[in-house]
Structure 1
């Protein structure tokens, strides 16, 4: 179970809140992009980035020159998966169906060589399973130019919305307007080769087999 704190306790739309750690894992598994919220020189900055995770940590990476990755104070990492639109009879009742997670913590730079490779492998395999073993591993020089942060998954809030409009039994039901949900069904497309790729090199199965499959789980 997720341990509630004053920041993660669900106050609005409590029915959408989830307290099971498995729900946090499911949201992280379904998402691809995290937004890292930090204060840089006293000003807020929200940076989109890919990520990887295990049971204890979420890993975020970037260049050593990135100011957002040099913070030593607490950050907020969010992951949101859009599942569809809620289209009601009144504009006020419109909304979206989604799965989201907010994670609070102090980021820890990953400096141990083995842990650095472990985190980078998780990140790569999360967005493109099979790619870490297929592509060339990072060189010592490339690792030196890379920053990897680990944020503990100790304090997190999870919300999931998957219901219909809320005005089906209210006065607006008499308007005779259509209402319901418009699901989002994003899928991977056909791989597009690098223009400089020599002829005869086909995409590996772990890439080509993703064509037509859902982007999120």
Structure 2
């Protein structure tokens, strides 16, 4: 597998602890694919905003969707924005209070969203969202109808300008602190899955993908 590394732009170049940065597409894709939510920062006449929304990746684009009446979706097509995704993996405990840190994976994407106007591409994108949420579910549910699709806007942003920053491993202590007797290490954080809970009005046997949900790691 060939990994493409794009050069950083002036606004994506990581300057603080630059050794934790990455500009590899494969690393970016892995972080985005593990996420169900992203945060989108933008500006309008009322000030600055940062709004969480569902997201999913198809090839070289990140997708979002919402109602045609969404103020945010309208604004995102008119100006550049910043999209972020963060996974917190653990707390890192060092000998010094100021050397405590966190293990994490994060991505920032810059650019402008564009509307997916082609009906076939819009349908395919929404199908991909359902498949990302729960693989296998799409074949069991009622698909969207013409009215629902007509009321929905699907946007995408190209993954052409981005930065990834991530950390893993234990603490990095100063030499002068090594004699201080205190426990050091990592307190891992995981995003677990609970057992599926049937709705009170459910009238079907639990499908395999729901039964397996609590047995798989997120």
Separation in 1, partners of 2:59, 2:99: 37
Q: CA deviation at 1:36?
A: 1.2
Separation in 2, partners of 1:122, 1:99: 24
Structure 1 runs of 4+ aligned residues shifted over 6 Å read: none
Alignment partner, residue 68 of structure 1: 72
Alignment partner, residue 10 of structure 2: 6
Separation in 1, partners of 2:116, 2:16: 36
Alignment partner, residue 19 of structure 1: 23
Among candidates 35, 46, 63, match of residue 39 of structure 2? 35
Show the 5 A alignment for 1:168-187.
Answer: 169-187=174-192
Alignment partner, residue 127 of structure 2: 121
Among candidates 152, 171, 194, match of residue 146 of structure 1? 152
Alignment partner, residue 211 of structure 1: 214
Separation in 1, partners of 2:137, 2:47: 37
Q: CA deviation at 1:42?
A: 4.3
Q: Secondary structure at the match of 1:174?
A: coil
Separation in 2, partners of 1:35, 1:123: 17
Q: CA RMSD in A?
A: 1.5
Q: CA deviation at 1:120?
A: 1.2
Separation in 1, partners of 2:91, 2:66: 33
- 8 A Cα contact 1:108 1:150, kept in partner: yes
Show the 5 A alignment for 1:44-193.
Answer: 44-71=48-75, 72-167=78-173, 169-193=174-198
- 8 A Cα contact 1:40 1:67, kept in partner: no
Q: CA deviation at 1:40?
A: 3.0
Separation in 2, partners of 1:122, 1:41: 34
Q: Secondary structure at the match of 2:91?
A: strand
Q: How many residues align?
A: 212
